[in-house]
Structure 1
Amino acid sequence: MPTKGCGIAQHFTILAYCADCGAKLYHHRSITLTKEQESYICSNYQSRKKCTAHYIRAVVLEQLVLQNLQRVVAYAQEDENEFVRRVMENKTAVQRAEQEQAKRKLEKQERRISELDRIIQQLYEDRVSGALSAERFAKLSGGYEKEQEELKQSAKELQAIVNTIETQAVNVQSFLKIVRKYTAPTELTPALLREFVEKIVVHAPDKSSGHRTQRIDVHYNFIGEIDFSPEYSRVSRQTTA
């Protein structure tokens, strides 16, 4: 039977991704390493040297994910209405602008699809009456039908964008159902990761301030990322000449 630690590690290798190249993180462990020394490293760096290491210790990653989860769950439990509002606003400005643009474009395309229906119908009538040759009919109708098919496919994609807000509202309620099943989490478990977390994005360390800081972004099932990402900070050791 796998240990709890092993279960957490297995889930992190599925959930954790490099912020720069998008590759999964590789769990670095061996019999010579203690639990404190185990780490996660970008698999592109590990295998093909196409990225930086994005090295983060396993215990630190667990700590940051747990802190993030604790903050999100506490917020949702304390004020569900405010939590729903914040989640919805998390997508706001840019996404709403995209949705409005998509809606206008969709309406325009739907009008053109209807117009093409009338044009194609007229072509058939002209062909039947002899006002249009078979060759000319084939060329015109083929072009219009191709345009109409492309517009229909595009309209489906635009409709999906327009429907996003309604879908988000349903998704927030699905997330809250999960939150209600738990009291405040005090430790990270495979069950919590399965229920709550969609993916974890690990950023490269930043030493520009003289400290080694490292950010992670936790994306949750149903609602995506909530801006509660803590950073791990450690004073960089200074070497002397």
Structure 2
Amino acid sequence: MIFRDTQEAIVDEDTWYVVQKIRETKHRPIAQGKANPLTGLMFCADCGAKMFNHRTKGYEKKDKDGNPTGKYTNAQNNYTCSTYSKAKGHFENKCSQHHVRTDVVRDLLLTTLHYTASYVKEHEDEFLEKVRKSNVLKQEASNVDKFIALVHKYTDFSELTTPMIHEFIDRIEVHEADKSTGERTQEIDIYLKYVGRLDVPMPELTPEELAEKERKRRKRAWNRTYNRRKAEKERAEKEKAALEAATDTDKSKK
């Protein structure tokens, strides 16, 4: 027989469950150092499978003769749907890639936690009403109180730390990217512990922030055009070289 709550616990129940969840998550050994703290929280929004973390170090590029160029590729750190990753190259894909960079997710988490915490601290009554009226989850009052207490536990949301991720984030669902408009957009749903997925009011962007956003949009568009033209040029050069090689071979046979 098991008798609960017969003596004071060393750690509270919520902390115990957080630790158990971390221990249950399998972390593959990686050469790049510590495991990504988002692993085990990232899920494909379409098939529901967990997402795999992929990390590669940057390496020095070489020219066509194999000589170092002094230019380096960027290190990669991203997530893809595990169903897609397992199926690729072996049998028919059951899902799509759902590729997303780790830094993008971390930035979104920090922004979400920052504005949610500010909203809770400045408009606690409105937050309580919003949660209780949510059609997504029927939250118990005790859970909402736990979330509010967790928010007040932290005084600084300027940097996303591993403890913050484990304490605040329940799961992250990543949708496939949409490129139908020419701009790559991707929906990511963040589910917070105790309160689930909520939309809190976001502050309006200042004219300076809007201008910066537009500048970045134009830069992305320019980069896409540049990369497309570069790829087309390289493909044309390869086709030309292959044609010349084939012509030289034919001439040598005559």
User: 1:229 deviation in Å?
Assistant: 10
For residues 47 and 68 of structure 1, do their structure 2 counterparts lie closer, same or farther at Cα, with a shift above 3 Å needed?
A: same
Q: 2 CA distance for matches of 1:193 and 1:207? A: 29
Question: Are the aligned partners of 2:58 and 2:76 in contact in 1 as well (CA < 8 Å)?
Answer: no
Give 3-state SS (helix, strand or coil) of 1:29's partner: strand
Q: 2 CA distance for matches of 1:206 and 1:168? A: 36
1:194 alignment counterpart = 166
Give 3-state SS (helix, strand or coil) of 1:38's partner: strand
Which structure 2 segments of 5+ residues have no match?
1-31, 60-72, 88-92, 203-212, 233-254
Larger radius of gyration: 1
Q: After TM superposition, list the pairs within 5 Å mapping 1:26-37 onto structure 2.
A: 26-32=52-58, 37=76
Q: Deviations over 1:130-182 (max 9, x none)?
A: xxxxxxxxxxxxxxxxxxxxxxxxxxxxxxxxxxx5x5222111110101111
Question: Are the aligned partners of 1:41 and 1:56 in contact in 2 as well (CA < 8 Å)?
Answer: yes
Question: Are the aligned partners of 1:17 and 1:25 in contact in 2 as well (CA < 8 Å)?
Answer: yes
Q: 1 CA distance for matches of 2:81 and 2:50? A: 6
Give 3-state SS (helix, strand or coil) of 1:66's partner: helix
Which structure 1 segments of 5+ residues have no match?
96-164
1:21 alignment counterpart = 47
Amino acid at match of 2:102: A
1:159 alignment counterpart = none
Amino acid at match of 1:38: N
1:87 aligns with 2:131: yes
1:209 aligns with 2:181: yes
Q: After TM superposition, list the pairs within 5 Å mapping 1:1-241 onto structure 2.
A: 10-32=36-58, 37-48=76-87, 49-91=93-135, 165=138, 168-228=140-200, 235=220, 237-238=224-225, 239=228
User: 1:31 deviation in Å?
Assistant: 3.3
Q: Please, what TM-score do these two structures have when normalized by structure 2? A: 0.57
User: 1:225 deviation in Å?
Assistant: 0.6
For residues 217 and 35 of structure 1, do their structure 2 counterparts lie closer, same or farther at Cα, with a shift above 3 Å needed?
A: farther
Question: Are the aligned partners of 2:128 and 2:144 in contact in 1 as well (CA < 8 Å)?
Answer: yes
User: 1:35 deviation in Å?
Assistant: 7.2
User: 1:29 deviation in Å?
Assistant: 0.7
Q: 2 CA distance for matches of 1:84 and 1:58? A: 31
- Runs (4+) off by over 6 Å: none
For residues 229 and 209 of structure 1, do their structure 2 counterparts lie closer, same or farther at Cα, with a shift above 3 Å needed?
A: farther
For residues 53 and 32 of structure 1, do their structure 2 counterparts lie closer, same or farther at Cα, with a shift above 3 Å needed?
A: same
Question: Are the aligned partners of 1:76 and 1:176 in contact in 2 as well (CA < 8 Å)?
Answer: yes
Across the aligned residues of Structure 1 and Structure 2, the Cα RMSD in angstroms comes to 2.8
User: 1:211 deviation in Å?
Assistant: 0.7
Amino acid at match of 1:202: V
Amino acid at match of 1:191: P
Q: 1 CA distance for matches of 2:201 and 2:112? A: 6
For residues 52 and 46 of structure 1, do their structure 2 counterparts lie closer, same or farther at Cα, with a shift above 3 Å needed?
A: same
For residues 20 and 69 of structure 1, do their structure 2 counterparts lie closer, same or farther at Cα, with a shift above 3 Å needed?
A: same
Q: 2 CA distance for matches of 1:83 and 1:28? A: 37
How many residue pairs match? The answer is 163
Higher relative contact order (CA 8 A, sep 6+): 1
Q: 1 CA distance for matches of 2:156 and 2:100? A: 26
Q: 2 CA distance for matches of 1:193 and 1:63? A: 12
User: 1:42 deviation in Å?
Assistant: 0.6
Question: Are the aligned partners of 2:175 and 2:188 in contact in 1 as well (CA < 8 Å)?
Answer: yes
Give 3-state SS (helix, strand or coil) of 1:180's partner: helix
